[in-house]
Amino acid sequence: MADDSERVPTDRQINATLSRCPLFRGLPEDALNALTMEVTPFTVHTGTILWDQGDEPLDLVVVQSGLLCEFRPNRTGRRSVLHVKGPPHAVGDIAVFDRRPHLASVEALRESVILAIPASPVVTMAAASALLTRNVVLQFAGHVRTLAEQRADLMILDLGRRVAKALLRMARHTDPMSVDVGVTVLANVAGGARQSVSAVLSRLERRGWLVLEPGRILLVDVAALHRYAGLAPAGTPVAPDGSAAR
């Protein structure tokens, strides 16, 4: 990890991010201030591996800006993506709290600013705080729910709808919303072959739902993508002819 002093957040910004992080939400001001004092901020560039599967958990990482991906490589070299995390979410929490090696590797999908907190003070604080312990339980429950939904999506949804859900999950809330990842990363997230995902993106672009640009994807009809991905009431039309990208 390489420190970039030009992008180092202030203590006030760090404190604000920690207060919004689901893991630390609701903690009293003195606890947040204590955590802020433990933080070391880093700027990590696209493609940087923060840690590999099997590494010991040295830090809990909170995303200040950017996007991180937790993945497990398989024997063929393809990646099984477990989670994609943006601000203000935490990464590495499972290994930190169960004190066992990381279950997955973590890579920066785009240039990111991260807040590294040594594992020991976080674990010590959790042991003394019923609220933080409750947040840890809720965080773990969220992980289980996300993995269960991803498993169900792979069995139930076609590739087009999985791509739409992945786009919405990774989008930055700009105007229009944008996804700054390549097709290979998107294919890993959606669980499809790169060529097939490229074909899906082309079909969605022809529908007018997105625009493909070098290095990014603009989501110009977010409502249509939500309906198509099944994130709106069933029966909502998604296209005049009712067809679906596959």
For 63, the token pair is: 């995303």
Percent helix, percent strand, percent coil in the chain, to nearest 5 = 45, 25, 35
pLDDT over 90 (residue 5): no
We find that the CATH architecture of domain 5-154 is Sandwich (2.60)
pLDDT of residue 233: 43
pLDDT of residue 232: 58
Query: Sign of torsion, CA 150 111 101 104?
Result: positive
The percent of residues above 70 in pLDDT, for the chain, comes to 91
Tell me: the pLDDT tens digits for 88-110?
Answer: 999 999 999 999 999 999 999 88
Helices (H), 99-129: 119-128
**Please, are residues 188 and 71 in contact by the beta-carbon 8 Å criterion?**
yes
Question: Which amino acid appears at position 106 of this protein?
Answer: V
Average pLDDT over residues 98-123: 95
Measured CA angle at 10 (ends 8, 16), to 5 deg: 115
For 208, the token pair is: 């007018």
**Please, are residues 40 and 32 in contact by the beta-carbon 8 Å criterion?**
no
Give ranges for CATH 2.60.120.10 in the chain.
5-154
**Please, are residues 100 and 56 in contact by the beta-carbon 8 Å criterion?**
no
For the domain 158-228, what is the CATH code?
Answer: 1.10.10.10
Give ranges for CATH 1.10.10.10 in the chain.
158-228
Residue that the structure tokens 């989670």 belong to: 83
Distance CA(148)–CA(172), nearest Å, equals 24
CA 164 to chain centre: 15
What is the number of alpha carbons within 13 Å of residue 243 lying toward its C-beta? 8
pLDDT of residue 236: 45
What residues have CB less than 8 Å from 228, skipping those under 6 apart? 160, 161, 164, 209, 238, 239, 244, 245
Average pLDDT over residues 9-20: 97
Question: Which amino acid appears at position 56 of this protein?
Answer: E
For 59, the token pair is: 């830090």
CA 190 to chain centre: 13
